Each structure stands twice: as C-alpha cells, then as structure tokens.
Structure 1
Amino acid sequence: MWRNSQKWKNRASRRPQRKGEALIDKLWIFRGLDRGRMTKKTLLMHELIGLKVKVVKSSHPGLIGIEGYVIDETKNTLTILGTKVWAIPKIVAEFEFEVGDKKIRIKGEELVGRPEMRLKKR
C-alpha cells in the first residue's frame, strides 16, 4: 500500500530528484572558434549560451557574485550553471562575460528580448 502512494509515484532509482541536478559536473560547454573576436558591441549579436558569466551588480543582493556558464537564455532570464542552476532576471542585473582573456560588462537591460531578435536591434 505504501509503495503505491502519490508521494513516491514519480520517483525512480538513480535519477536526479532536484531540477538541474543532472547537469552539475556533467556538462560539456562548446566554445566556438569565433568567441575570441567578441567586443562589447558585438556580444549583443552573438550566442550567449556556453559563455562564462558573473553577476557583478544587481538590485537583489542575493544574486551578486553568482558565476558559472550560461546554459539557457529566454526573453527575460539567463539560466546559469554554477554550484547549482540559477535563473537570473536580466532586467535587475549587470553581467560580466568572460570571452577568451577579455572580460566584458553588459547591463541586463541591453540583453532583454528574445535572443533571436537581438540581431534586429541595433
């Protein structure tokens, strides 16, 4: 009887039980060959997924200092994989992207919008 309760219905052995747990320490980040040619101006037109990022300024003090790799991007958030998976709102933060040996700071307000539509914004 106890095994059939709703509490244990979705549980499976050897599967992660928390969101993003499977990604930590098992993610391989692709870094394209053109990543070294990015500047602050051209970063807005490039793919952000796979870049190393750090939150350097935010209106929410709990978000400052989060660093890791961008694993997903939506219209209003960046999903960052660090010690855990974070969904950071773009509008409230300032990000520092590490591209090669350069560090590029960008306000999140400049990144707001669908990633595929950033090319049309100039």
Structure 2
Amino acid sequence: MRRNRKRRKNRAPGRPQRQGETLVGRTWIFRRPDRDRVTPKNIVWHELIGLKAKIIKSPHQGFMHIEGVVIDETKNTLKILGDKLYTVPKDQVEIAFEVGDKEIMVDGKELIGRPEMRLKKRWRK
C-alpha cells in the first residue's frame, strides 16, 4: 500500500540524516560526539570505524604513509579509505589514530582479533 505512505521530509539521498553522520566518498561514516572519549589506554576496546588513521611503520614499503578513514575492520585487517581503498594487515603495521586534536599511536598486534571479541580480552597496562 504505497499510496498510503506519508512523504517524509529531510530524506534526500546524499544528505546526512542525523547529527554526526557524514558521507566520505560513497561510504557512510558515523562520527558521534563521544569520539573524544578515546584515550591511549582504552583505544584497544574502542570502535575504530570512523577514526582517521595513518600508517607510521611497516616492513612492507607499500603500506607506508597510507592515511584515511577506517571504514571496516575484520579479525586481521583494517580497510582504510584514502585516495583509494586499502586493506592493511594489522599484525605488520604501527598505526596512528587521530582523535579530536590528539594522535594516538598503537601497535597493530594489539588490535588483532574480531572487534567484538577484543572487549573480552585483558590487556596489561
């Protein structure tokens, strides 16, 4: 019964629908106001999707100086959207995440594991 549906305002494609949503390339990135709660101590347990990332150190020269926004995360890789889409293995890189005006450096080996299972791990402080 399509004719009975009410037309909704503010639903144009390509426009953010809620506060904190932005369109990067063709991918929706949710940038919520609570992104500033990320600290060097809790970034391992935090959601990485939507954070700006830059590869600092890697044994493979092809991964050096990749920067962009993390759009997907799997057990062993991060997908970073920069000038193109890069799939970067976590265990071989050191990553700097930009949160607010801070830059947090993390060894990729600490990020290995599915994002939902990293919450259960205990890390030495």
Q: Do the structures match in fold with TM over 0.5? A: yes
Q: Let me know the Cα RMSD of the aligned residues.
A: 1.4
Aligned pairs, number: 100
| TM-score, reference length from structure 2 | 0.76
**Which residue of structure 2 lines up, in the alignment, with residue 117 of structure 1?**
117
How is 1:85-96 mapped onto 2 (pairs within 5 angstroms)? 85-96=85-96
Code of the aligned partner of 2:30: F
- Using the aligned pairs only, state the percent identity: 61
Secondary structure at 1:48 match in 2 = coil
| TM-score w.r.t. length of structure 1 | 0.78
Q: Distance in 2 between matches of 1:32 and 1:43?
A: 16
> Which of the two has greater strand per residue?
2
The structure, 1 or 2, with the larger RCO (C-alpha pairs under 8 Å, 6+ apart) is 1
Alpha-carbon separation, structure 1, partners of 2:27 and 2:100: 19
Q: 2:39 & 2:52 partners in 1: Cα distance? A: 15
SS in 2 for 1:59: coil
| Deviation, structure 1 residue 24 | 6.8
The list of structure 1 runs, each at least 4 consecutive aligned residues, that deviate by more than 4 angstroms after superposition, is none
Residues 92-111 of structure 1 mapped to structure 2, 5 A cutoff = 92-111=92-111
Gap runs ≥5 in structure 1:
1-22
